[in-house]
Structure 1
Amino acid sequence: YLKERVPEHDLVITDMGSGLNMRRKGFRRLLKMMLNNEVSKIVVAHQDRLVRFGFEILEEVCRAHGCEIVVLEKEDPEQELIEDLISILVSFSGGTRGHEREKVKKCVEELKN
């Protein structure tokens, strides 16, 4: 998806894992590159793929290092809040599997209605 949308970029860093996990190898690599002023633009499909919380802080640190973050797909603020709450609940329940996430999502949807 990113290679199609921004073909002029030559490096794509991928990670497996949640945006809640700050110890992902790709995220740490990207952070080091940014802090060493080795990157001028970070492009992500969705904001939460980079970090689930603290995006504004990361954005500010990027600016201080002459780096820009571009988010291609903006989310609806209400939907983003729901996804954040689901992530928190799944995280604290110790679950990360899809079926556990779907159970929590169903409960949140029921509460919403």
Structure 2
Amino acid sequence: MLVKEWALLEGLHPQTVWKWCRQGTMPVPVEQTPTGMWLIHDPKYETASQSNPADSRTVCYARVSSGGQKEDLQRQADRLKAFAVGMGVEHPEIVTETGSGMNDRRRKLNRLLADPTVGTIIVEHRDRLARMNAGLVESALKAQGRRIIVVDETELDDDLVRDMTEVLTSFCARLYGRRAAKHRAEKALEAMRDERV
């Protein structure tokens, strides 16, 4: 179990739990992966969450925004696979996808989210899952006994800053989308005018 998950269940601040892990004063068994991530093995939570471990799959999800980033996509997938193996996953599945993080038109991710046999989804950064509202996806999966692991949590942890970034990203997407739509409409009208002449 991740530090943030255990801290939430125990009503503690994650920084306190990380400090305890580093000092070796945790009241339950912990381990540090080769990548430096702390995993907490609390028997009272692990036995409840591992009701059907044979059916649960771990999938690494890598995404880039455009087709010109194929090399980046492969490197991202390789890093995720190495992380999963470091966590102890014997045969992690890799799912790669090219598509915008601003909308829900990602068939492969939608399939993963709808598949109840996928117990854990590993992503490199939170925005690889979704640019906005990734927390809602996490909450929905958690309610089903599933989880998302974010490898690099160095993103902004300040809720206000994250919310502001999401709002600005949404406004930019709408603005650029409108500009593109307006541009396409102008071209269509111009083409109609040209046909009349």
* Length-normalised TM-score, structure 2: 0.41
2:147: which partner in 1? 68
Displacement after TM superposition at 1:80 (Å) = 4.7
Instruction: Pick one of 82, 98, 104 that aligns with 1:4.
Output: 82
Instruction: Pick one of 111, 114, 122 that aligns with 1:32.
Output: 114
Percent identity at matched positions?
30
Displacement after TM superposition at 1:46 (Å) = 0.5
Q: What is the alpha-carbon distance in structure 2 between the residues aligned to residue 14 and residue 71 of structure 1?
A: 16
Q: Post-superposition, which runs of at least 4 consecutive aligned residues in structure 1 deviate over 6 A?
A: none
Q: What is the alpha-carbon distance in structure 2 between the residues aligned to residue 54 and residue 81 of structure 1?
A: 9
**Partner-residue secondary structure (3-state), 1:52:** coil
Q: What is the alpha-carbon distance in structure 2 between the residues aligned to residue 12 and residue 47 of structure 1?
A: 17
1:51 aligns with 2:119: no
* Length-normalised TM-score, structure 1: 0.67
**Closer, same or farther: CA 87–15 of 1 in aligned 2, 3 Å:** farther
Q: What is the alpha-carbon distance in structure 2 between the residues aligned to residue 86 and residue 54 of structure 1?
A: 13
After superposition, the CA RMSD in angstroms is 2.3
> Larger relative CO (CA 8 A, sep 6+): 1 or 2?
1
Q: What is the alpha-carbon distance in structure 2 between the residues aligned to residue 81 and residue 18 of structure 1?
A: 19
Unaligned runs of 5+ in 1: 96-113
**Closer, same or farther: CA 4–82 of 1 in aligned 2, 3 Å:** farther
- Bigger Rg, structure 1 or 2: 2
**Aligned ranges 1:87-102 → 2 under 5 Å:** 87-92=169-174, 93-94=176-177
**Partner-residue secondary structure (3-state), 1:22:** coil
1:29-63 CA deviation, whole Å, 9 max, x = no partner? 11111xxx211111110011111222222111111
Unaligned runs of 5+ in 2: 1-78, 179-197
Amino acid at match of 1:40: G
Q: Is the 8 A contact 1:18 1:49 kept in 2?
A: no
2:105: which partner in 1? 23
